[in-house]
């Protein structure tokens, strides 16, 4: 769909779309540094994000105001009660705009507005979590708020929700300027502007990048170009997106995203330097038997990883011929809680196998066991269809119903690490960057 310029006609004036960079960080010194870098890249407004405000209080707003005297500072208070008190607090700390939640009672919104008029700040109402965002945005406009923010929160993004999907409905409902937030990058910023949003709020895709200035500039330029209209991209299927991400992130990223769980024990790459990503075909077999392991190859394709519980470190259930057969069929890889043999042949084939041990001795094809039943492999339950990712750090199992979510969360872990790495490269130690002492459990 081609979108056209409709929106930035506010009160008859063409206003340049605003780039707001949201600082959802825990450390104030890092937030200020990132704010300065984002401003250099063209950020118009700087937001003290809710996590930063929770971590540092109103000092977050004070320090940003001090560091960026000419910029508009937005305090993302996410107020739901005591509207007046929270607006006063933020205004006195130096905020120009205060964000409150649309799910607040009207009495809270009205009192926040009275305080805003008194202290000379503006109110943006965030539709995050509103059961009926269209109706609520109409009500908010009637109450007199200054901006509406179409927002899909970070946790909602992880399960596939997108702000852009209901932006048009809100743009068609209210006349006040509309902001859009939630996982926005340069491409979606352009789409939002072309649809008619006036303000684009960008968090992680800028603040967690190693080069914040360049990333902000990229969004800024995409927004400016989009004023001539852009093609809206077709959305990939969630499965496609998920597998793409799993190919990019590491098993440590995934395990971190699973709250440090999901890693198999004692199952390691026997042919390092290779990555596997696929849906599990499971095999339960027994010491001295390799029939079911090999029969599973006939059911597998490139989108699969064969996951075998053999349980013996001393008799192998897999070797060179099985590997050759898998390679011919393009099967994604093999993971074995048990032993393999023919390592030299497997290495020569460059095929990814993860196993617990290597031994020359094989079993016989007796035909015991089962294919595609729930098994335990590397100490973890694996069901057919669960997602398996393996690399040089080991193998992780992602429950099939959480595949998309975990892929998105792992991507966030990867982004955070890339910014931390950059700060280490600039000369700070990891414990300084992570502020370990401050965040030790008290």
**Beta carbons of 126 and 97 less than 8 angstroms apart:** no
Question: Does residue 137 contact residue 170 with C-beta atoms inside 8 Å?
Answer: yes
Euclidean distance between the first and the last CA atom of the chain, given in angstroms as a whole number = 54
Q: Which alpha helices (H) appear in 274-350, and where do they start and end?
A: 291-295, 320-329, 343-349
When asked if residue 130 is in the footprint of ligand LJD2ZHX5 (CB under 6 A), the reply is: no
Instruction: Determine which residue in the list 56, 63, 76, 405 makes contact with ligand LJD2ZHX5, applying CB under 6 A.
Output: 76
State the CB neighbour count (10 A cutoff) for residue 120. Answer: 8
Residues 199-218 that bind ligand LJD2ZHX5 (CB under 6 A): 201-205
- State in angstroms the smallest separation of the CB of 183 from ligand LJD2ZHX5: 5
Q: What share of the chain is helix, strand, coil (3-state, %, to 5)?
A: 40, 20, 35
Residue 89 CB contacts under 8 Å (≥ 6 apart), including other chains: 58, 77
User: Exposure of 324 by Cβ count < 10 A (0-12 exposed, 13-18 middle, 19+ buried)?
Assistant: middle
The residue nearest ligand LJD2ZHX5 at its CB is 203
> Does the protein bind ligand LJD2ZHX5 through residue 191 (CB under 6 A)?
no
The whole-angstrom separation of Cα 368 and Cα 48 is 61
Q: Say whether residue 403 binds ligand LJD2ZHX5 (CB under 6 A).
A: no
Task: Find the binder of ligand LJD2ZHX5 among 8, 24, 199, 209 (CB under 6 A).
Answer: 24
Contact with ligand LJD2ZHX5 (CB under 6 A): which of 184, 245, 296, 395? 184
17, 41, 51, 369: residue in contact with ligand LJD2ZHX5 (rule CB under 6 A): 51
Of 43-51, 66-74, 111-119, 416-424, which part binds ligand LJD2ZHX5 (CB under 6 A)? 43-51
How many residues line the site for ligand LJD2ZHX5 (CB under 6 A)? Answer: 17
180 in contact with ligand LJD2ZHX5 (CB under 6 A): no
- Return the half-sphere exposure (C-beta side, CA atoms, 13 A cut-off) of residue 412: 17
> Which CB atom, from 50 or from 293, has the smaller least distance to ligand LJD2ZHX5?
50
- Which residues of the shown chain bind ligand LJD2ZHX5 in the complex (CB under 6 A)? 22, 24, 49-51, 76, 153-154, 181-184, 201-205
């Amino acid at each position: 769909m081609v979108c056209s310029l409709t929106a930035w006609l506010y009160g008859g004036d063409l206003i340049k779309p605003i780039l707001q960079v949201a600082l959802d960080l825990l450390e104030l010194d890092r937030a200020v540094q990132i704010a300065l870098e984002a401003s250099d890249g063209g950020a118009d407004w700087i937001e003290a994000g809710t996590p930063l405000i929770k971590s540092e209080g109103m000092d977050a707003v004070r320090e940003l105001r001090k560091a960026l005297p000419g910029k508009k500072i937005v305090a993302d208070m996410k107020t739901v009660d005591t509207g007046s008190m929270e607006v006063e607090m933020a205004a006195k700390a130096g905020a120009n705009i205060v964000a409150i939640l649309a799910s607040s009672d009207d009495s809270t919104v009205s009192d926040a507005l009275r305080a805003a008029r008194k202290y000379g700040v503006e109110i943006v109402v965030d539709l995050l979590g509103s059961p009926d965002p269209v109706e609520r945005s109409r009500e908010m406009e009637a109450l007199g708020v200054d901006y509406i923010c179409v927002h899909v929160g970070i946790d909602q993004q992880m399960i596939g929700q997108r702000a852009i999907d209901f932006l048009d409905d809100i743009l068609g409902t209210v006349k006040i300027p509309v902001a859009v937030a939630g996982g926005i990058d340069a491409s979606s910023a352009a789409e939002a502007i072309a649809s008619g949003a006036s303000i684009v709020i960008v968090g992680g895709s800028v603040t967690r990048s190693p080069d914040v200035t360049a990333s902000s500039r990229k969004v800024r330029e995409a927004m400016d170009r989009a004023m001539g209209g852009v093609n809206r991209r077709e959305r990939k299927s969630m499965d496609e997106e998920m597998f793409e991400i799993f190919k990019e992130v590491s098993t440590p990223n995934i395990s971190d995203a699973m709250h440090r769980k999901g890693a198999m024990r004692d199952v390691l790459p026997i042919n390092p330097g290779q990555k596997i990503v696929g849906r599990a075909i499971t095999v339960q077999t027994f010491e001295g038997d390799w029939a079911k392991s090999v029969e599973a190859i006939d059911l597998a394709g490139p989108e699969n990883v064969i996951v075998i519980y053999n349980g013996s470190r001393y008799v192998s259930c897999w070797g060179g011929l099985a590997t050759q057969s898998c390679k011919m069929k393009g099967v994604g890889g093999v993971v074995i809680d048990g032993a393999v043999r023919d390592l030299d042949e497997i290495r020569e084939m460059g095929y990814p196998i993860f196993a617990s041990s290597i031994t020359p001795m094989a079993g016989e094809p007796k035909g015991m066991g089962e294919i595609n039943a729930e098994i335990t492999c590397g100490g973890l339950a694996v069901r057919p269809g669960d997602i398996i990712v393996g690399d040089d750090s080991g193998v992780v199992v992602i429950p099939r119903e959480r595949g998309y979510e975990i892929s998105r969360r792992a991507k966030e872990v990867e982004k955070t690490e890339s910014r931390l790495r950059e700060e280490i490269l600039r000369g700070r130690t990891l414990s300084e960057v992570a502020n370990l002492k401050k965040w030790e459990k008290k």
